[in-house]
Each structure stands twice: as C-alpha cells, then as structure tokens.
Structure 1
Amino acid sequence: MNPRDLREKIRTGEFNTHTSGVGSNYVQANLAIVPKEYAFDFLLFANRNPKSCPIIDVLEPGVVESALAAGSDIRSDIPLYFVYENGKISEKRHELKEIWRDDFVSFLIGCSFTFESALLKEGVPLKHIEQNKNVAMYITNRQTKQAGEFSGPVVVSMRPIKNELVQKAIDITAQFPNMHGSPIHVGDPKEIGIDDISKPDFGEFTEYGEEETPVFWECGVTPQSAAIHSQIPLVITHAPGHMFVTDVTNEEFLRNRS
C-alpha cells in the first residue's frame, strides 16, 4: 500500500491494526514523545543505546510533520498510541490531537519491520507475517545504559528462522544498523531472561519447531520499558507493532546512510 494512502486510512480509522507486512518496501518507525524538559535526556539515552533506539528523525517542540513523510501528522498517523503517566499506561488512544502540547518533542526510531522486507526478498521466510501476526516481543534481563531519568531493560523481538538460514538472516540484518542491525541473541531464550517463550510481553507468539531457531533482535519498544522503569510524568509511544510508515523506501534509506 502507498504510505500516504495508508496514513490517510489510519487517520480516518479505516486501518487500525498492526503494520507488520504492510507497506513493506517503506521504512517504518517506532515513536516516543516526551515533554521538552526530558528531550535531551531521551536523546542521550538513545545515543547510548543505538541498537535499541536508533533515531531516524526528531521533530522539534510542537512540530507534527516528519521530514520523512510529507503531509504527515504524528498525532494521528499511527494506528494506536500508549500514554504513560508515572510509569503506568493511563490510556490508549487512536489520536493525540485532544491532548497535544506545544512542548512535545517527537522521536522516530528505526524499526525491524524495515529489515523484514529485505529478509523476505532474500528468501528468508517470516512465519509471523505468513500467519498475519504481530511480531513477538519480550522484556529481557539485559539492561540499557542509563541517561538522566531514562533506564530499564532491553526489549527484543523474536522471529523463528530456519536453521540453515540463520547466518543469512544475521548477515542481511547487519546491513541495517539504523533498524536494530544484527541480532542480540540466537538460540536459548532463557539465556536472556525469557522463561516462557510462549508468553510474549508484547505482540503474538509464533510457534517454532526443531527445524527452526529463535532469533532475537533489539527492539524499539525499549523506550516503553524505559518509560515504565523511569516513571517520568508523561511519555507517549506507539502501541507495539503499530508503526509510523514513512515515504522513504528501504533502498533509499540504505543508500542515504551508506
């Protein structure tokens, strides 16, 4: 789907589910919005944790249009938003216009949905897309590097990969450092603190068999983990899997970052 058309459908409520596998040739992004007084700390947090939080655009206070998507509105072009107050979700919203403030600074963060397109093109199947599921995401025992008020555990996304294609998947995703890059872990989930792989903290579980290996990538939901752990007064994020779809193709993004 053309990203402008998709954003319009999201804005009008016609499209209101996760964006995995949608607009697959275009760069998708996670979102974190904080009041200006916390913006520097968040920028520093992202800088210290570049695999979890690779920033691809920053909107100045009060600005709602991203340079990566002409005519976009960060307040309404994501299917679902989470509003956190003092570390807890206070509400889930389909738009932010009623609560928008001129001191809000918006950060767009690279998303692994971008490298999924490359994996599929190179013949690496992705079961959650085949099954029309949101990717499974887990809170791990790995810790981010603290910056100011922000800290917390690393969140990962998991994809079952055929055993013979694991190295190929690693090599392909390593080409996308601004979209989480290569995996943080391959194999036994318990080694990164995931005791029950069938119960993701976010998204939907995708089963795998002996012919497949669970592969884990750092995830842009990590800022939500930091929002919960840090308990700052107000943070707004995308709902896991419900991304901001830009007008930039994956190929254009790679070319401009090379």
Structure 2
Amino acid sequence: MSQSISAQELRHRIRRGEHTGNTSGFAPGFVQGNLCILPRDWANEFLQFCQLNPKPCPLVGMAANPGEYRLPSLGADLDIRTDIPSYRIFRDGKLVEEVTDIRSQWRDDLVTFVLGCSFSFEEALLADGLEVRNVTEGVNVPMYRTNIACQGAGRFSGSMVVSMRPMKAADAIRAVQICTRFPSVHGAPVHLGDPQLIGVADINRPDFGDAVTIQPGELPVFWACGVTPQVALEQARPPFCITHSPGCMLVTDLPNSRLAVM
C-alpha cells in the first residue's frame, strides 16, 4: 500500500481491515495520535495527569462528552471505534486482549483522549535530511520504560516511557533544535547518550516496538513517548480502559504544520 495517501483514506482502509500494522510514515503531513479511553469517573484525573506531564502526554484532542466516538475536530468521518489498526483492552490495569475493532466494547460512559505522537516530528526530521532509523528499517520505533518519574494526579502516577532514535552527535543537536518547535508532539529529547542513566538496562531489548541498528559513533537519542499513559494505567488499575497498541496510531486530518511553534 502506498504510504502517500490522505489521512481519511488511511482511516477508511484501517476500518475495512486493509491496514493492520503500524502507521509510521503513512499519510505524511498529518498529525498522528495516541489513544486513551476511560470511564467518565476516571477522566478528570487522567486529564490532570496529562496537564501535569505535557512532555509524554501532550493532549491534542478529546471527546466533548462521554459516549462520543466521532471527533469532528480531529477528522472527517472519524470513528474512534474502528479507525485505529490495533487496540489494547485493559481490565483492572491488566492487558487482556488486542483487537482491531472496539464497537462491541463501546459504552455510553467512555471518554476519549488523543495525545500527540512522535511520528509527527519524525516527518520534520526527515524533511531536514536527518535519518530516522526505524523508518529506514521499516520497523516500529523502539520504546523503553525508564526511571524518570511523572508527576502524579489522583490515582495516576508512574514512570515515563521513551522512544529512541540513534543519531550522530551533530544530527542529535539538530534534532533538538527541530523538535523544540513541536511541544504538542513531545518536543525536544529528554535524554541523549548512556541509556542506563535513565534506567534502560539493554538498549537492544525494547519494552515496546522493535530494536533498530545503532551504528558505531551514534548516540541513542530519547524522546518522551505517548505509551507513558499505559504504564500509568497499569498502576492506577481502572476497571476498564482502551488504548492503542504501540505504533498503531489514530491518523487525524490536522496538519503537522499546525503544531509547529515558529
């Protein structure tokens, strides 16, 4: 399937089951988002958690009311129940299944949150001539649990998850400059260099996603990652929650250029 299709067409293909993999590199130019869906009585605390931790949890949209599964502010004919390639279902903080359609699990008390995703700033890196290794190798970006603590809010707390892209030092400096302009999609990196300093024991064994090649002379560069809420959910243990599967994002109609701070 060609990657250069519109966001709406990609959502339709996902809805029809024609695209089930990760969404990195697809529908270039459009914002991709992480998903979190919670019961109404957990929603306000999660919103506060996002507001207190904008690096890993940058909020780009949410449903105006419980039970709403169409988010017109994020895309035309967008159905949050069908338009993500893979969903994770959590019960009492434990992952119980991954599915491609959540219509059978939908409830009138569910509130949808969409958080910014690093796939948006990858496009800006590529446009500047920087290599993004997971795109080059055609795999999902590697993601790791860290010892970087998030600020707690009510029942939500936990440590940050980061994504990693290896770069030469000069490219890493340029990446910091570029990504600083995109605070709505995680902004500048949170760490460069020794992964053990942030609690990553084995860079070749990511907790989520796929390992990528790190060439001699390259630094691992770490960005805050939108999988962080899944760690917070594991600890908070809401009775029911739905997220995206790592790498399988909601592709919106919002242009990436709208997120840039000039």
Query: So what's the TM-score if we normalise by structure 2?
Result: 0.96
Out of 97, 109, 131, the position equivalent to 2:115 is: 109
Return the offset for 1:88.
0.8
Deviations 1:190-242 (A, max 9, x none): 00000011110000011212221100000000010111111121111000010
Q: Structure 1: how far apart are the matches of 2:7 and 2:230?
A: 25
Q: Report the equivalent of 1:194.
A: 200
Give secondary structure in 2 for the equivalent of 1:50.
Answer: coil
Q: Which residue of 2 aligns with 1:157?
A: 163
Match of 2:214 in 1: 208
Contact in 1 for aligned 2:179/2:188 (Cα 8 Å): yes
2:89, 2:95 within 8 Å by CA — same for their partners in 1? yes
Whether 2:14 is the aligned partner of 1:10: answer yes
The count of residues paired between Structure 1 and Structure 2 equals 256
Separation in 1, partners of 2:172, 2:259: 24
Letter in 2 for 1:142: I
Say whether 1:238 aligns with 2:244.
Answer: yes
Question: In 2, distance between residues paired with 1:235 and 1:183?
Answer: 28
Equivalent residue for 1:179? 185
Whole-angstrom distance in 1 between the partners of 2:76 and 2:168: 39
Q: CA deviation at 1:153?
A: 1.1
Choose the corresponding residue for 2:53, options 35, 38, 49.
49
Q: Distance in 2 between matches of 1:253 and 1:50?
A: 14
Quick one: distance in 2 between partners of 1:161 and 1:65?
Answer: 39
Alignment counterpart, residue 76 of structure 1, candidates 82, 90, 94: 82
2:163, 2:86 → 1: CA distance? 19
How much has 1:24 moved relative to structure 2?
Answer: 2.4
CA distance in 1, matches of 2:13, 2:60: 24
Q: How far, CA to CA, are the matches of 1:112 and 1:233 in structure 2?
A: 29
Deviations 1:111-169 (A, max 9, x none): 01000000000011111101110000000011111111111110000001122211100
Kept in 2, the 8 Å contact 1:143–1:153? The answer is yes
Counterpart of 2:67? 62
Percent pairwise identity:
45
Counterpart CA distance in 2 for 1:10 and 1:253 is: 25
Consecutive unaligned residues in structure 2, runs of 5 or more: none
Show structure 1 runs of 5+ residues with no match.
none
Contact 2:32/2:249 (8 A) holds in 1:
yes
Moved more, 95-104 or 243-252: 243-252
Q: Which residue, out of 119, 124, 128, partners 1:122?
A: 128
Between the aligned partners of 1:185 and 1:98, the Cα distance in structure 2 is 41
3-state DSSP class of the match of 1:155? Answer: strand
CA contact (8 A) 1:29 1:243 kept: yes
Which residue identity is paired with 1:15?
H
Partner SS, residue 190 of structure 1: helix
Q: TM-score, normalised by structure 1?
A: 0.97
- For 1:154 and 1:13, how far apart are their aligned partners in 2? 32
1:39 corresponding residue in structure 2: 43
> How big is the alpha-carbon RMSD for the aligned residues of Structure 1 and Structure 2?
1.0
Give distance in 1, aligned partners of 2:122 and 2:27. Answer: 11
Q: Tell me by how many angstroms 1:90 deviates.
A: 1.1
Asked whether the equivalents of residues 24 and 113 of structure 1 are also in contact (C-alpha less than 8 Å), the reply is no
